Chains A and B, each alone.
Chain A
């Protein structure tokens, strides 16, 4: 009958109107910035450098291999190798970056630097409220700004951090086993362990 649709429509809108006061379903607005949607674990925004322990310079995992610099599509990473060496996450003396800059205004959050890093040193952060009024230096971050503790990584990406920690633990164990085997006087055990490490790294 003429008018039936209109009446049904009006009933629906009335239900929406009154329902919006009682149920969250009918008022889905999240009033940013007072309320926020819960953060998703796989969020990625901009990279940060991971360090272990308390001292960010001594504990930095990055060995300045410059793979991420080469793989970065918009070339936003700038690395200068140091002259001396320090122990890396596994314990081996390695170079470290004297200068590590990321131009965050260029970075496109593709995560390629994270994917190619062999040392679990660079990971994606989840911070996005990064507006600054400093046009020139505000979005060019140096290694001090980029370094964040492993605890932060475990907080924002628990599963990925657990996997990363497992990999590092395994490598550390292997390195320790190797040094222990090398410390023994020359014996069959050395040859056997050398063969074992060779087969396990294949």
Chain B
């Protein structure tokens, strides 16, 4: 039955844990779940690296990696072997302890984020009352590790890259959190499990996902843009600006530590996509009521893969934003829109169900978007240059 497939892994875990001594069951159950999360998301990371390179290649009218293994899918193994066999260089004057710890803490924090994401029905590692708060707190640790990396390298370019990265990440935390707060307001709880439960109902065919409301849609867009900036992904990848300051804050890292940074960033990307799915896209809920027979974890991963594809698509399309463009965008556009989104959510909540609230909320968001957009693009008209010569 659908339920057996849906609860397959939950039952498997129960049976496995049942064979173990009673006193150790809670901790062993958590350990097994942790190992499962580690392996699944590490595998997803490997597949994403090769899919990204192939996807970007096709967007750029070329093949991606297609020599290692069938269609190039064993490329991550080749990359892994390469990064493991490279010499681990630590600059002479670098702070060895912090230099060593930075990638480790990054990966540790990135993996901890998955604890509060409900991957399927009854499939969350830690059902915290304040899951969303935990998520944002731990993602701030990731920002800290970037600073650790830049500072400990004792290299002015790494430090510059780290400073830019942190400025960017802090600026984009604000709209990220504000757009998540709208969801918390609507669901009435900080617990990720409750938020997904709230979105798991259907009216007729259509799901109750928050993205299908005006404030949810705007919030989801804001969330996606802020998530791209949080993960230092194109078009917000100035800190790692490959063509500008070598590799930015991880210039001084080689071999496996570099691979760990890479891993940590991608895991952060998956985690924040997972949070976006949980908050706006209904988590593990099926998109239509007649599709609920498909297991819940498959829906979660399908949505995750769609979001990853979207990130790859955006990366292949947009040029890198300059630092000042990036900061202006965060503070002058995203923040006002996020605040307005909060108000819109409240208006939505307090108006009665019906066409009126749709019209009012859509108008509020669209009018603000157009006006803000116009005022921001105001100065970008190119005019004829006027020269003034010395008399």
Chain A residues at the B interface, C-beta cutoff of 8 Å: 1-3, 6, 9-10, 12-14, 16-17, 20-21, 26-29, 31
Which residues of A sit under 8 angstroms from B370, Cβ to Cβ?
Answer: 1-2
A9-B317, A9-B318 in contact; A29/B62 too (CB < 8 A)? yes
Check A13 against B376 for contact (C-beta < 8 Å): no
Residue of A nearest to B370 (CB): A1
Check B61 against A6 for contact (C-beta < 8 Å): no
Whether B373 sits at the interface, judged by CB under 8 Å, is yes
A2-B373, A2-B376, A17-B55 in contact; A10/B317 too (CB < 8 A)? yes
Whether B58 sits at the interface, judged by CB under 8 Å, is yes
A6-B318, A10-B313, A27-B63 in contact; A16/B58 too (CB < 8 A)? yes
Taking the closest CB of chain B, its distance from the CB of A21, in whole angstroms, is: 8
Secondary structure of the B contact surface, majority rule? helix
Chain B residues at the A interface, C-beta cutoff of 8 Å: 55, 58-63, 313-314, 316-318, 333, 369-370, 372-374, 376-377
In Å, the complex CA distance between A21 and B62 comes to: 11
In Å, the complex CA distance between A31 and B316 comes to: 22
A2-B369, A2-B377, A10-B313 in contact; A26/B61 too (CB < 8 A)? yes
Check A1 against B373 for contact (C-beta < 8 Å): yes
In Å, the complex CA distance between A20 and B61 comes to: 6
Check B62 against A27 for contact (C-beta < 8 Å): yes
Check B373 against A29 for contact (C-beta < 8 Å): no
Taking a contact as CB atoms closer than 8 A, the residue among A3, A13, A28 that contacts B316 in the complex is A13
Residue of A nearest to B314 (CB): A10
Taking a contact as CB atoms closer than 8 A, the residue among A2, A14, A21, A29 that contacts B313 in the complex is A14
- 26 inter-chain pairs at a CB distance below 8 angstroms, sorted by A residue, are A1-B370, A2-B370, A2-B372, A2-B376, A3-B373, A6-B317, A6-B318, A9-B317, A10-B314, A12-B317, A13-B313, A13-B316, A13-B317, A16-B59, A16-B61, A17-B55, A17-B59, A17-B313, A17-B316, A20-B58, A20-B61, A21-B58, A26-B61, A27-B61, A29-B62, A31-B63
In Å, the complex CA distance between A31 and B314 comes to: 27
Which residues of A sit under 8 angstroms from B372, Cβ to Cβ?
Answer: 2
Which residues of B sit under 8 angstroms from A3, Cβ to Cβ?
Answer: 373
Taking the closest CB of chain B, its distance from the CB of A156, in whole angstroms, is: 30
A1-B373, A2-B373, A2-B377 in contact; A28/B313 too (CB < 8 A)? no
In Å, the complex CA distance between A17 and B374 comes to: 32
Which residues of A sit under 8 angstroms from B63, Cβ to Cβ?
Answer: 27, 29, 31
Residue of B nearest to A20 (CB): B58
Which residues of A sit under 8 angstroms from B316, Cβ to Cβ?
Answer: 13, 17
In Å, the complex CA distance between A129 and B311 comes to: 42
In Å, the complex CA distance between A13 and B316 comes to: 7
In Å, the complex CA distance between A106 and B47 comes to: 48
Which residues of A sit under 8 angstroms from B55, Cβ to Cβ?
Answer: 17
Which residues of B sit under 8 angstroms from A20, Cβ to Cβ?
Answer: 58-59, 61
* Known A12-B317, A17-B55; further 19 A-B contacts with Cβ < 8 A: A1-B373, A2-B373, A2-B376, A2-B377, A3-B373, A9-B318, A10-B317, A13-B59, A14-B313, A16-B61, A17-B58, A17-B59, A17-B316, A20-B58, A27-B63, A29-B61, A29-B62, A29-B63, A31-B63
